[in-house]
Chains A and B, each alone.
Chain A
Amino acid sequence: MRVRQSSDTFAGLALVLATLLSLVVSALANSTVAASPEYQVKAVFLFNFAQFVEWPPQSFQDAAAPFVIGVLGTDPFGSALEGAVRGETLNGRSFVIERYRSVTEIRHCQILFISRSEAAHVEEISAALVGHSILTVSDIEGSAQGGVMIRFVAESNRIRLRINADAAKAAGLSISSKLLRPAELVTSAG
């Protein structure tokens, strides 16, 4: 009895140590560079947008469908977007982060971040999304005038918002005044 007890203890401890050791080793081996502070903040902005914009019901597949934040192109966020939405729900919907290489991969999406890697295609992308209630966000230069609804603008180490409210309205989205107030408003160019 006594012997069995101590061998149980030993087995338990050995398992503990082996597991924790392997967790540590594999964690260190897999360490990747986290998102820069700039993109951590932008990730939180994207999460906040979900709460200050109203989407028409038909933009979701159904009442239980998750709220999708998509990233088109090279993803600068690391795990920051996942971190921003982890454990969060909005009107009962959980959040899902999706990544797309091309605009054709998009199925159901509420917020789309268009990465700098797509700078050359902003207008094509905007055109492809016409008729969909997707809030487009980007930090590409001139993108707000190019039909992207919200642009992150860097100003002396701070992130400002430039909002194209007409483009959002055309997509059936209504942006809260709480978001519009601190932002700079622009309209689509020509």
Chain B
Amino acid sequence: MDRRRMFELRRTVVCLLLVPIYGLVCRNALGAADGGSVSIGALKQLSIEELMNLDVTSVSKQPEPYGQAPAAIQVITQNEIRRSGASSIPEALRLADNLDVAQQNSHDWSISARGFNTALANKLLVLIDGRTVYTPLFSGVFWNVQDYLLKDIDRIEVISGPGGTLWGANAVNGVINISSKSAKDTQGGYLEAGGGEPGLKSFAGVRYGGTLAPDIYFRAYGKYFDRGNEVYANGNNASDSWNMRQGGFRVDSYASPGNVLTVQGDLYGSDLNVAAGGAGSSSGGNVLGRWSHVISDDSNTSLQLYYDRTHLADPITNQFGTAKVLTDDLDTYDLDFQHHIRLNERNRVAWGLGYRFTHDVVDPAQNLTFLPPTLNRNLYSGFVQDEVMLVKDLFFTVGTKLEHNDYTGFEWEPSGRLQWNIAADQMLWSAVSRAVRTPSRVDSDLREPNPLTTILAGDSGFKSETLIAYELGYRARLGSKASASLSMFYNDYDNVRSLSYTPITIVPLFFANNLAGDTYGAELSMDYQIIDQWRLHGGYDLLRERIHVKSGAFDLENALNETEDPQHQFSLRSSLDLPRHIELDGGLRWVDKLIANNNGVPATVPSYFELDVRLGWRPVPKLEFAIVGQNLLHARHPEYGLVSTIPNREDIQRSVYGKVSYGW
């Protein structure tokens, strides 16, 4: 796996709760999703009896204080994923206007919200079915081992802005919550296969769902893909092809009234060629159990337990020598409990407790070490949040998370949110939140190239990076065919990672918290259903970053190393249904230039336009043919990195693949 950049001197450069279920996001996804009516999302939460007791003359004022979340949330639906032609989770994430997705090479991506999108991006929290998938090595995500049969993904919720109050440390700039479908909704068989050039060479997937007993549903799936090489800027082959196998299952039981039991698990293995030479591999698996229990109409609980294992063998190339393989074995055990209760007409309270234990073993490459090689970490957390109806249509949500980690002790992440339902189809919201990014092993334990002759070191005194975020947002339906969302933010950061040197001996260089600064920006999304058969989506992102070295302090990287972000991003997507069951979809994106760090001197990744097109045909409902072209505007283009340093920047090539899928 190509993780070389992350430990390089030039590029030098948790613990959390998971809570996706009844939290801020889930219930809001209904209303916020793709232009659906605000109040219909809320109405669907009601039981038949509640619907019958509803005064229909007042429905437009929201039967419940939540049609939409008072947060910058975007929801990517299954249908949008299918019609985009995305073949992986990172590709699907390009559908969220509030993310910056930059592909580094065949198998690595940088993904972040609201800036700080480096190869070591560490301010985004990602969950798959309630399971946190970040690595405590650098508090970021190895995107190339996060996969699923895309057909069975129900939706992806992307929140930009802090989510620390519910999700804890790491949910600094955003939260991505990927949810697979209930086994109940994936009954029957499904087959897909295809291939292309030069990116996605071949792939296949299969799923079967059935019942184990009345009201107990299962599915099992398997998938495989083989992806080709990308190229260097000079056109030479970068030898970074890879392949991956994954399989898994999910069982959902609705057999006992008021209880939903879910058990699911996945296993995967992957072989990755690394451009500079050497073969990496990844493997892992997880198993998760969740019990959701309805106590009454006003009160429900959820208890979740999971185990996750990842193995990583990563050839590390840096200026200290040729590639040597770093292996990392991480075991995670996580327990989470939540209780949601409506205390009275005005107060809805959520609280929860969590515990996580991680056991991380690094077998160091000769040019990269973590000290100690074996590390156990405990994380304890609790949160409480109250949603108060101040007056009709005006809601105030206040809460905090309190957690204890083994690096920095207690951390708290409070937030206050105000939501005003101006009308049935308009909402104005505002929030002030605090979030922290707690130290990772890179920040604390890194010894490069080795503990005896260390040139670059982590610092056990590394502090948490902190953020105070101020947000303002507006969402509206514009008539029956269009909807729009605008979110604006001002983020104030402190104690951001910097690089210092040891007096007199200069080395080891070590990480410190000498940066501070602010960022501001806006995210605009619009959906427009022109006619039943034609839908347009437009998105625009503005981001300004003003990160500086704190007065009297020092950073070898001149405050350039933690950011590599576009100031502007723009996307336009079209989904058109043609006669004879033909679908034509296009996605155009423009990404502004990036300012990258080249040894403390700014370097540039050029801006680019790119276009994806999908042509689909469903001769009968069960059968679908699709041909997908990705990055069609250029033979190849760079999205991330530097041309002249090790590893050399790669270009992403124009690519085409075909796909056949059959469901029964």
Contacts and interface: CB of A to CB of B under 8 A. Distances in A.
Nearest to B77: A87
Interface stretch (B32-40, B102-110, B543-551): B32-40
A40 to B, nearest CB: 6
Interface in B162-185: 181, 184-185
Interface stretch (B8-16, B195-203, B478-486, B513-521): B478-486
Contact of B56 (A9, A24, A38, A78): A38
Interface stretch (B261-269, B326-334, B461-469, B523-531): B523-531
Interface stretch (A44-52, A117-125, A140-148): A44-52
Contacts of A16: 540, 568, 570, 590
Interface in B267-304: none
Contacts of A20: 524, 526, 538, 540
Given A87-B77, A87-B79, A62 B56 contact: no
Interface string A52-93: 100000000111111000000000001110011011011110
A40 B44 CA distance: 10
A15 B572 CA distance: 10
B607 A157 contact: no
Contacts of B538: 19-20, 23
A32 B51 contact: no
A182 to B, nearest CB: 5
A98 B37 CA distance: 19
Given A5-B606, A31-B478, A32-B481, A12 B185 contact: no
A130 B621 CA distance: 27
Interface size class for chain B? 35 or more
B555 interface: no
B59 interface: yes
B78 interface: yes
A161 interface: yes
A30 B48 CA distance: 34
A27 B482 contact: yes
Nearest to B58: A37
Contacts, number: 171
Contacts of B506: none
B52 interface: yes
A13 interface: yes
Contacts of A34: 37, 425, 477, 479-480
Contact of B78 (A26, A87, A91, A159): A87
Given A31-B478, A44-B43, A62-B622, A12 B592 contact: yes
Contacts of A47: 44
Contacts of A83: 36-37, 40-41
Interface in B98-125: none
A24 B526 CA distance: 8
A158 B56 CA distance: 6
Contacts of A179: 48
B53 A79 contact: no
Contacts of A86: 33-34, 36
A178 B52 CA distance: 13
A106 interface: no
Size class of the A contact interface (CB-based, 8 Å)? 35 or more
Contacts of B621: 61-62, 64-66
B533 to A, nearest CB: 13
Nearest to B75: A87
B146 interface: no
A15 B538 CA distance: 11
A115 B644 CA distance: 69
Given A9-B592, A91-B184, A63 B40 contact: no
Nearest to A2: B604
Given A13-B568, A27-B526, A87-B155, A48 B51 contact: yes
B377 interface: no
A41 interface: yes
Given A20-B524, A20-B538, A91-B187, A28 B51 contact: no
A64 B151 CA distance: 14
B33 A87 contact: yes
Interface string A1-29: 00001001100110110011001101110
B188 A92 contact: yes
B611 interface: no
B453 interface: no
Nearest to A155: B52
A62 to B, nearest CB: 7
Interface in B52-66: 52-60
B52 A182 contact: yes
Which of B52, B528, B536 has most A Cβ within 10 Å? B52
B49 interface: yes
Contacts of B530: 26, 30
Contact of B40 (A64, A84, A89, A160): A84
Contacts of B155: 87
Contacts of B572: 15, 19
Interface in B352-404: none
Contacts of A87: 33-34, 36, 77-79, 155
Nearest to B189: A63
Contacts of B59: 37-38, 40-41
A182 B186 CA distance: 31
B156 to A, nearest CB: 12
Given A16-B540, A157-B55, A37 B60 contact: yes
Contact of A23 (B44, B46, B209, B482): B482
B188 A63 contact: yes
A161 B56 CA distance: 14
A43 interface: yes
A8 B55 contact: no
A86 B535 CA distance: 14
A156 to B, nearest CB: 9
B479 A89 contact: no
Closest A-B pairs by Cβ, 6 of them? A31-B479, A27-B482, A37-B59, A83-B37, A79-B480, A44-B43
10 contacts: A23-B482, A23-B528, A24-B526, A37-B59, A41-B54, A41-B56, A65-B621, A83-B41, A87-B78, A160-B52
Given A12-B592, A12-B609, 9 more contacts: A13-B570, A19-B538, A19-B572, A40-B37, A48-B48, A52-B48, A64-B621, A80-B40, A182-B52
Interface of B: 33-34, 36-37, 39-41, 43-44, 46, 48-49, 51-60, 77-79, 155, 181, 184-188, 209, 424-425, 477-482, 484, 524, 526, 528, 530, 536, 538, 540, 568, 570, 572, 590, 592-593, 604, 606-607, 609, 621-622, 663-664
